Amino acid sequence: MKFGKILTAAAAVMAMTCCVHAADAVSVVVNDAAIDINAVIRDGRTLVPLRGVYEQLGYSVNWYAESKLATFEKGEKYMSVDANDGSVYIGAPYSSIAPQVKVDTDVPAQVINDRLYLPLRAASEGLGLTVDWDGETKTVYVKSGEVDEKVTEDIDIGDVKADNSFAYSMNELMPRDKNYMFSPLSIKMALALAANGADGETKAEIVKTAGLGDLEKYNAYARALINTYAEGEEEEKEYYEEYYGMQMPEKTQLSIANSVWLNTDRAKELGDVSFNDGYIKNMRQNFDADIEKVDQTNAVDKINSWCSKKTNGKIPSIIDSPEFLAALVNAVYFKAGWINCFDEYATHEDTFTDRDGKAQKMEFMSQTEDFMYYEDKDIRIVRMPYNGGTAAMYVVLSNDKRVDITPYMDKMSTCQVHIKMPKFKVEYSETINGMLQKLGINTAFSVDTADFTKMLQGGANRFYVDKILHKTFIEVDENGTEAAAVTAIMVEGAAMFDPEPVVIKDFIADKPFSYFIVDSNTDEILFMGEVAYAK
């Protein structure tokens, strides 16, 4: 018989049957549709009438009067509630597919005004549902797996080669009067966070300018990239030590982190603005993003603390004001040792001539080893690989001209190279609105033209990008490289041959040079920059 009114329950809970006061009223949204049922808050817990929710989710709901048992069934999903003592069980009795397990619901199921009420989260999540609570609007959001936003198929990042046109376009706009370093990867991924929340011309401009291509495919690529860099090393270490009989060199550390922040004080001022559910789910699924709420009192500390943690303290801060509605933040951290380290005893002071012709003393590292190398009348490139990974630094001498190294990478061959280059450290910070506007992102920065309705909802629906901050750090020495970047979008390979004399190529970087840290598995440029001055 269909589930009718439950008229009795344990005497201990009958005392709670009373009228629902307006102040205790709670809204319930199931699969993005508001349903008309009376959910309430009791003793700090949100209790929801079960029948209305589960029938909306497509469950068959039954009531067995003699045993005072309510059951909820949909395919292989099964839940039962004992109205005698309020116990909740997931799984059917005697089932080998879904054996019955008692759920700790903290508060038992209760009868209120002749309806069976239950705190939804523990029981529902056991059925594969997601339950979210918005304390400000007193709304319970329930979703089933069947209506989750589509997750793009997994891909092998080794099958995808990065489009670096955006990186080189940005490089052309970098300053000529100081050393700089930026992360094309960090900026591109932060722009992807924004593109997924944009629509219309705003989305089209961001996607085109950043070279994201098909956004859904880029989302899958981003997810694969983040997961690949986050994979553990234990099995690889064990194999290496067993096979080679020696300890594996420290592997390249490369991590990508994303976060999305809402300033609740500002959101209230603008008329109860919030993130769209679909956007938040996309950020979690494809970008492994932390979803956070802050207010005017803690926004700066919390976001800066997150940046510092994700960059191993190399970028301790990115913002200095809480005056924003939302922040989309990406952090990239890299640390790796050279396969061929420089001998510290070979490091000596020498002269570096900067772009202005001024000669200054710097500490120069030096070594002669086999490296991938290319030269012609216009350019010389040496590739310096890092330990335990696919990344390498390309150091380029090109008569102080900025070049795209892509056409030269396949022309490189192995030979002995005498490298002499300075140790260096660069910290760079820039608001990159102007650069991005020159490259084609314009509507996003205007309150009159920006369309971020896929990201935010509520208020007057007039959301725009106030500023995009980019901060980087790199330090290169005899042992390797450590680099980090944060981008914050504020919304408001032999044949036998007769040996020939060994020719040693000199690569002396005693004048302005550029460098590129590239993941050869994807051709993704992680960092790129230029040293044109001694300091």
Say which CATH number the domain at 322 has: 3.30.497.10
CA nearest to 381, candidates 400, 409, 354: 409
Query: How many structural domains does the chain have?
Result: 2
Full-model pTM? 0.70
Alpha carbons within 13 A on the beta-carbon side of 504: 8
Residues 51, 186 within the same domain:
no
Domain that holds residue 273: 163-337+425-492
Query: Are 131 and 173 members of one domain?
Result: no
- State whether 190 and 317 are in the same domain: yes
Chain centre distance of CA 129: 24
How long a stretch of residues is the chain? 535
Instruction: Check: CB of residue 195 under 8 Å from CB of residue 214.
Output: no
DSSP code string of 482-521: EEEEEEEEEE---------PPPEEEEE--S-EEEEEEETT
* Interatomic CA distance for residues 530 and 340, integer angstroms: 22
Are both 188 and 284 inside the same structural domain?
yes
Residue 369 lies in a domain: no
Q: CA-to-CA distance for 489 and 328, rounded, in angstroms?
A: 5
Token pair of 451, please?
């369309």
* Residues in Cβ contact with 382 at an 8 Å cutoff, skipping those fewer than 6 apart: 371, 372, 373, 394, 395, 417, 419, 507
**Would you tell me how many other CB atoms lie within 10 Å of the CB of residue 319?**
22
Q: Starting at the earlier edge strand, list the strands of the sheet with 253-263.
A: 290-294, 253-263, 326-337, 480-491, 465-476, 424-431
Q: Are residues 311 and 178 in the same domain?
A: yes
Q: Do residue 102 and residue 76 come from a single domain?
A: yes
Report the candidate in 408, 492, 484 with the shortest Cα–Cα distance to residue 445.
Answer: 492
Residue 347 lies in a domain: no
Q: Tell me if 182 is assigned to some domain.
A: yes
Find residue 351's DSSP bridge partners: 361
Predicted confidence at residue 22, as pLDDT, reads 40
What is the distance between the alpha carbons of residues 253 and 334, in angstroms, rounded to a whole number? 5
The series of mean pLDDT values per 10 residues for the chain, 535 residues long, is: 32 33 65 75 72 80 78 78 81 57 73 71 69 75 59 63 89 93 96 95 95 92 87 50 58 89 91 88 92 93 96 95 95 94 94 92 94 94 89 93 92 94 94 96 93 86 92 95 96 53 75 85 86 81
Q: Say what the pLDDT of residue 242 is.
A: 60
179 and 250 inside one domain: yes
DSSP letters spanning 245-270: SSPPPPPPEEEEEEEEEEEHHHHHHT
* Tokens found for residue 76: 């292989």
Inter-residue contact 414 to 523 (CB < 8 Å): no
| pLDDT tens profile 272-324 | 888 988 899 999 999 999 999 999 999 999 999 999 999 999 999 999 999 99
| 488 in a structural domain | yes
Instruction: Give tens-digit pLDDT for 376-388.
Output: 999 999 999 998 7
Cα–Cα distance measured from residue 223 to residue 281, given in angstroms and rounded to the nearest whole number: 13
Phi first, then psi: what are they for 194, rounded to 5°? -75, -40
Residues 331 and 250 both lie in one domain? yes
How does the average pLDDT of the chain come out, rounded? 82
Antiparallel, parallel or unpaired: β 413-422 and 504-508: parallel
Sorted by sequence, the CB contacts under 8 Å of residue 72 that are 6+ apart come out as 50, 54, 59, 60, 61, 78, 79, 80, 81
pLDDT tens column, 46-67: 777 777 788 887 888 887 777 7
